[in-house]
Amino acid sequence: MRRRDFSFALAGLGMAGSCSRESTRAADNGPKKLALLIGIDHYRNRDIPQLGGCRNDIEGLRSALIGSYGFRSEDIQMLPDEKATYGGILEAFNRHLLSKASPGDIVVFQYSGHGSRQPSATSASGQGETIVPYDSRNPKNLDITSEALSSMLSELAKRTKNITVILDSCHSGRMVGVVRGLNDIVAVREIGPPNDAALPPPFTPLTRRSLGQAPGGFQPLDDSYVLMASVLPSQLAKEYRSGGKSYGAMTFFLLREINAPRAKATYRNVMDLVALRVTEAVVDQTPQVVGPNADHYVFGIGSPPVVPYTLARRDGNIIRLPYCGAAHGIAEGTRYDVFADPPQPSVSAAAAVEVTRVNTLDSEAKVVSGKAPEIGYAVLRERGIKASPLAVWIDPSPKLNPARLALGKAPEFQILADRNAANLQVVPELNGMGVYTPDGLPMFDRKAPILDATGLVQELKRWANWFSMLGLDNVASDIRITLRLEPVKDRGPSPVRLPQLDRPEMVLKANSVYEPVVTNDTSQTLYMTLLGLSSDRSIGVIFPMKADANAAFEVKGRSERRLPAIRAVVPDCLDLSRDVLILFASTQPVGFFQFVQGGFCGGSRNFTNATLGTKGWVSSPGSWTSVRHVVEIRK
């Protein structure tokens, strides 16, 4: 059946678009909605394995765009099979998208079919991804390379910033898997690399915006794109049969979700559900949504307030949290609010649940109140205290007695008599209270001190989350990884921030630029995430990309990878910042979106000191590990 490649290769592009189901129905004077849908089951070269669901993919998306998202049929062009030649794809891209798109218009580009890899001098892995037009390999190599497609989309981005890219194709290889619940065998056949070089990009290749590369070998672009990808780089995309018809597994579940009567869904909301469904139904396939516009409304414009969450699935009396485990710092007693629809600040939760069992990468919970939906969005409300509580020293001033009483009632905190043994110190300020490290570094905005005991408890709960992430450490792991920072002379335009802690290994000047270099010293492929913890108690995902917090980048065994350059930044309300870079690595993808939090300076950054988290927990040896790099950034 299907061997599709290339999907995750566009990770640096991302996928845009936006708007709720109601707002995506274009008014007469609204933005144009254009779509180019390419699906190739049968290739001119009959030695290429024929597929069975690519035309169904594009026909299904066409129906959804017209029926649910306000696209006009005349604004959707489909290129099935023999129409999807190399020349046909470029001509349709130019005529239907480039010549028609204007600022603010919404554009969808879909490809379903075979993909491949070929040698690439610009890829960190030495291999670049391609999509395979109908007439490629017959015998000439007419594959469209990642560089070529990037150049096409970059040209389109000059006309509109709302571009959605959907790729359902897979990595080369051969395997046989079972589609669960259908008892069907899915064979994924290999398409090897071509014997000759591909044609050059149709437009001027992109100018590098940093010295590293995004996942899949694509240069990081601006915020014009969001990408829905069917697989991770090392995985194979499969076909899925339902009702006697084949589809790409990702596309089948994507169509189900975007056709569901769900208001105000974002790409992340939809693709999280798609990924859960696909991983339950198909062996070894993990769909991803990547790009800074992952939190935009699907096929529309705009985005709601972002509320970090994870998914929860009801299984009888058990609530399963498939993406929360010891590797995330979760402990028994952790509580989540579960929402039936994507969570928003003004919406009440359907249920409250409490974690009762923690595994390495997943957990089980019980319902404490309310009724949990079959699949819901779980928002972290209170961490369990099986790991060490946050150690706090409080100044003996009578002014702080209410704060001391309030903290003493909260199980997340332990009040210490020795100020130097505490994680944080609370002292009186002229107009309230302040929080400091033991060596006197302020952990609050000095222009806006904490006013009362309630505010202090709320602030320290955020710090407890911060310290728990800081303490991620699997002492049983046999995985060996390294992280180092190399200075970059040419600063470039990359504005990505660093994180913070005490005992810095490096002292950096604000706005200096460094290139993170990661090494996998084991023989197996690892999935990595670079996290940033900053002195304004923010927690963020630095790489892969700023909004892809549930994505991960691959590092092959016994190899080194250079990441895009990052800029050292001090939060506006601080004079210096101690940041912690945490490189997390595991044998399967692990996301951290649910733990992202802003800082008290109003930005999105991070920080350090480690007595909390997963230290000493029993975890699967070799399944995950982390290393930290502490830096001090001075203005």
Q: What is the CATH number of the domain that holds 555?
A: 2.60.40
Q: Is residue 304 part of a domain?
A: no
Examine the domain organization and report whether 125 and 255 are in the same domain. Answer: yes
Q: What is the CATH number of the domain that holds 125?
A: 3.40.50.1460
Find, among 308, 258, 301, 342, the residue nearest to 549 by Cα: 308
Q: In the structure encoding, which two tokens stand for residue 569, read together?
A: 């930044």
Residue found under tokens 């660093």: 498
CA distance 606 to 191: 44
DSSP-derived letter for residue 448 is S
Examine the domain organization and report whether 369 and 406 are in the same domain. Answer: no
Backbone angles phi, psi at 104, to 5 degrees: 90, -15
pLDDT (tens digit, 9 = 90+) per residue, 120-154? 766 655 667 788 999 998 889 999 888 888 889 88
Q: Is residue 115 part of a domain?
A: yes
Q: What is the mean pLDDT of the chain?
A: 79
Would you state the pLDDT for residue 489? 63
Side-chain-side CA neighbours of 608 within 13 Å: the count stands at 22
Task: Please give the helix or strand (H or E) that residue 282 lies within, else none.
Answer: none
Q: Is residue 465 part of a domain?
A: no
Structural domain tally of the chain? 4
Residue ending a domain, choose from 433, 453, 473: 453
Q: Is residue 298 part of a domain?
A: no
CA distance 272 to 260: 14
Backbone angles phi, psi at 211, to 5 degrees: -90, -10
pLDDT (tens digit, 9 = 90+) per residue, 281-295? 888 888 888 776 888
> Helix or strand or coil: residue 225?
strand
Examine the domain organization and report whether 280 and 354 are in the same domain. Answer: no
Q: In the structure encoding, which two tokens stand for residue 66, read together?
A: 């017209």
Examine the domain organization and report whether 216 and 360 are in the same domain. Answer: no
Examine the domain organization and report whether 492 and 598 are in the same domain. Answer: yes
CA distance 424 to 607: 12
Find, among 127, 98, 133, 100, the residue nearest to 115 by Cα: 133
Backbone angles phi, psi at 460, to 5 degrees: -70, -25
Examine the domain organization and report whether 529 and 587 are in the same domain. Answer: yes
Examine the domain organization and report whether 372 and 395 are in the same domain. Answer: no
Find, among 598, 569, 342, the residue nearest to 462 by Cα: 598
Would you state the pLDDT for residue 263? 62
Examine the domain organization and report whether 348 and 328 are in the same domain. Answer: yes
Residue ending a domain, choose from 362, 382, 402: 382
Q: Is residue 459 part of a domain?
A: no
**Taking the CB of residue 396, how many other CB atoms lie within 10 A of it?**
10
Residue partners of 401: CB distance under 8 A and separation at least 6? none
Side-chain-side CA neighbours of 121 within 13 Å: the count stands at 2
Containing structural domain, residue 438: 390-453
Residue ending a domain, choose from 290, 320, 354: 290
CA distance 588 to 16: 27
Examine the domain organization and report whether 73 and 125 are in the same domain. Answer: yes
- Stated length of the chain: 635
Q: What is the CATH number of the domain that holds 439?
A: 3.40.120
Q: Is residue 464 part of a domain?
A: no
Between helix 249-258 and helix 267-281 the angle, nearest 10°, is 130
Q: What DSSP letter does each residue of 481-498 carry, written as one string?
A: EEEEEEE-SS--S-----
Find, among 55, 46, 13, the residue nearest to 248 by Cα: 55
Between helix 401-409 and helix 453-470 the angle, nearest 10°, is 50
Low-confidence ranges of the chain (pLDDT < 70): 1-29, 121-127, 170-224, 233-234, 262-263, 292, 385-388, 489-503, 545-551, 602-622
Q: In the structure encoding, which two tokens stand for residue 250, read together?
A: 């990702």
Across 370-386, b (16+ Cβ under 10 Å) vs e yields eebbebbbbbbebbbbb
Cβ atoms 626, 473 nearer than 8 A: yes
Q: What is the pTM of this model?
A: 0.76
Cβ atoms 271, 288 nearer than 8 A: yes
Whole-Å CA distances, 188 to 179, 194, 248, 486, 606: 12, 18, 12, 41, 42
Would you state the pLDDT for residue 189? 26
CA distance 498 to 586: 22
Q: Is residue 321 part of a domain?
A: yes
- Beta-bridge partners for 60: none
CA distance 9 to 215: 7
Backbone angles phi, psi at 518, to 5 degrees: -115, 150
Residue partners of 583: CB distance under 8 A and separation at least 6? 481, 483, 518, 528, 529, 530, 531, 626, 627, 628, 629
Would you state the pLDDT for residue 541? 82
Examine the domain organization and report whether 371 and 495 are in the same domain. Answer: no
Examine the domain organization and report whether 373 and 398 are in the same domain. Answer: no
Q: In the structure encoding, which two tokens stand for residue 490, read together?
A: 């040419």
Whole-Å CA distances, 428 to 269, 341, 439, 595: 43, 42, 16, 30
Cβ atoms 121, 197 nearer than 8 A: no
Examine the domain organization and report whether 515 and 566 are in the same domain. Answer: yes
Q: In the structure encoding, which two tokens stand for residue 630, read together?
A: 């502490």
Residue found under tokens 């609204």: 30
CA distance 409 to 405: 7
CA distance 345 to 306: 9
**Taking the CB of residue 166, how many other CB atoms lie within 10 A of it?**
26
Q: Is residue 360 part of a domain?
A: yes
